[in-house]
């Protein structure tokens, strides 16, 4: 059974389009993340959701909007796609315990987004 | 601003030798540090976690050290094998939910 899954694995689209990437985890974790890995392989956190509440929102354009219908899902919707959005997007999950060392993160396989 | 550096972008070593990867950070006081492995086309996979009050952690052929005075972690793979070839990422975190990843070191173990 896949712990963290993402769909689609590849996404090729035109500038200006709106697209969504879906993420699901079956680990029972209460915290999920979206990361962006650019061409230089830097992995940067975009969002964190804990119990369906947005906890972290780094300096990400508001064209990106995370949506969490329930604890097991965190989808990423992107409006008006730009060339610079091309990257690999990873979903991850963990079990957060405040004041205690957080458990490890489990990553999905990634979604390679190409904006033409 | 927080900054994490890993010793080199790429490291080549001979099979059987010990690989040593370095992670240095500034402007940060992490509660703990993690090391991940990433293979091409895949997501990172957790390897080891070390807490701020720990000096060393071991798991099979892997060893991690953590020096909060030097703001440095060393990651060792002993008796390296070609199958150890991958990109290794260090990640820092506080007691919140914010993770900061280093740029990674691409390790190649040559037969």
In tens, the pLDDT along A97-110 reads 665 555 688 999 99
* Whole-number pLDDT of residue A57: 74
Tens digit of pLDDT for each residue in A6-41?
999 999 999 999 999 999 999 988 889 999 998 877
Distance CA B1, CA A34 (A): 21
A90, A43 Cβ separation under 8 angstroms: yes
Opening angle at CA B50, ends B49 and B55, nearest 5: 155
Residues of chain A contacting B, Cβ within 8 Å: 4, 31, 33, 35, 40-45, 48, 50, 55-56, 90, 92, 94, 96, 98-102, 104-110
Q: What is the mean pLDDT of chain B?
A: 92
- Contact call for A45 and B93, based on CB within 8 A: no
Percentage helix, strand, coil for chain A under 3-state DSSP, each rounded to 5 = 5, 55, 45
How many CA atoms are closer than 13 Å to the CA of B89, on its beta-carbon side? 21
3 state DSSP class of B92: strand
Q: How close A16 gets to chain B, by Cα (Å)?
A: 26
Q: Is residue B94 pLDDT above 90, yes or no?
A: no
Chain-centre distance of CA A101, in angstroms?
22
- For chain B positions 10-49, those within 8 Å of chain A (CB to CB) are 31-32, 34, 41-46, 49
Average pLDDT of A79-95? 94
Q: Is residue B86 pLDDT above 80, yes or no?
A: yes
């Amino acid at each position: 059974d896949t712990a963290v899954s993402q769909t689609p694995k590849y996404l090729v689209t035109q500038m200006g389009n709106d697209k969504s990437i879906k993420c699901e985890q079956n680990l029972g974790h209460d915290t999920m993340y979206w990361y962006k890995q650019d061409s230089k392989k830097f992995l940067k956190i975009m969002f964190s959701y804990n119990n369906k509440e947005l906890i972290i929102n780094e300096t990400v354009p508001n064209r990106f909007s995370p949506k969490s219908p329930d604890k097991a899902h965190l989808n990423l919707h992107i409006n008006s796609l730009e060339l610079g959005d091309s990257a690999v997007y990873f979903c991850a999950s963990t079990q957060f315990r405040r004041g205690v060392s957080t458990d490890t993160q489990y990553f999905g396989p990634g979604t390679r987004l190409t904006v033409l | 601003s927080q900054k994490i550096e890993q010793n080199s972008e790429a490291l080549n070593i001979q099979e059987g030798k010990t690989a040593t990867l370095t992670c240095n950070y500034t402007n940060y006081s992490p509660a703990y540090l993690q090391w991940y492995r990433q293979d091409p086309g895949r997501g990172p996979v957790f390897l080891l976690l070390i807490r701020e009050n720990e000096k060393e952690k071991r798991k099979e052929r892997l060893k991690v050290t953590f020096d909060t005075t030097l703001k440095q972690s060393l990651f060792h793979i002993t008796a390296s094998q070609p199958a150890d070839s991958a990109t290794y990422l260090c990640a820092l975190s506080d007691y919140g939910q914010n993770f900061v990843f280093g740029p990674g070191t691409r390790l190649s173990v040559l037969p």
